[in-house]
Amino acid sequence: MTMEPEMYRLTVNGEPREVQDAWLGESLLYVLRERLGLPGSKGACEQGECGSCTVLLDGAAVCACLVMAASATDADIVTVEGLTAETTLTDVQAAFLDEGAVQCGFCTPGLIVAVHHLLEHNPEPTALETREALSGNICRCTGYGRIFAAVDAVVASRAEQSPR
Ligand code: FES
Ligand code: FES
């Protein structure tokens, strides 16, 4: 008996993408990086502990290493690559650079996605809310002070541009 190659479709960054010849147990992180050419999401612990692989799944921030890609065929998936056009930075990315919140950078893509998610749902978080929202994103370089400063800078800049 011959097995037909598996194929399924995902919607990633607004585009339909075919995943060919896949093992159905592959994680979304693996499929994004190794099959769809989107290496922005990083694999570190691959156990849902570090947040390096954070993506948006139907608007929720999730660890892509814990999601089976084949189970996400009906979902709207957004990776760090999909937050902005290729040649521009989001205000969050720019603030990370300006505040020196990037050291080795391994945690950065996951944090960028998590910060976008936080500010979309809570545009003016308290310091405690920011810490709580980002508590699943581990920075091995321990640059938390500058990361929180970057979040504060984005909040201030957005408030300045759209005063209430
Ligand atoms: S690689 Fe997914 S949480 Fe660490
Ligand atoms: S900048 Fe190195 S892990 Fe965060």
Please report, for the domain that includes residue 43, its CATH number: 3.10.20.30
Measured in Å, residue 45 CA sits from the centre of ligand 1 at 5
**Residue pair 111/142 in contact by the 8 Å Cβ criterion:** no
For residue 82, the CA-to-ligand 1 centroid distance in Å is 19
Split into its structural domains, the chain has a count of 2
One digit per residue, pLDDT tens: the chain, 164 residues? 555 557 999 999 999 999 998 899 999 999 999 999 999 999 999 999 999 999 999 999 999 999 999 999 999 999 999 999 878 999 999 999 999 999 999 999 999 999 999 999 999 999 999 999 999 999 999 999 999 999 999 999 999 998 76
* Residue numbers of the domain that contains 115: 91-161
Classify residue 137: in a domain, yes or no.
Answer: yes
If asked whether residues 121 and 152 sit together in one domain, one would say: yes
- Please measure the distance between the N-terminal and C-terminal CA atoms of the chain and give it in whole angstroms: 66
Last residue of a domain, one of 51, 79, 107: 79
CATH of the domain at 143: 1.10.150.120
Sign of CA pseudo-dihedral 16, 18, 61, 140: negative
Whether 2 is covered by a domain: the verdict is no
DSSP helix/strand/coil, 17: strand
My answer on whether 95 and 75 are in the same domain is: no
How far is ligand 1, taken at its centre, from the CA of residue 146, in Å?
22
The pair of three-digit structure tokens given for residue 13, joined into one six-digit string:
């960054």
Is residue 86 a part of any domain in this protein? no
Q: Which of 57, 79, 101 delimits the end of a domain? A: 79
Q: Which residues line ligand 2 (CB under 6 A)?
A: 102-107, 139-141, 143
Handedness of CA 163, 89, 33, 115 (dihedral sign): negative
Whether 84 is covered by a domain: the verdict is no
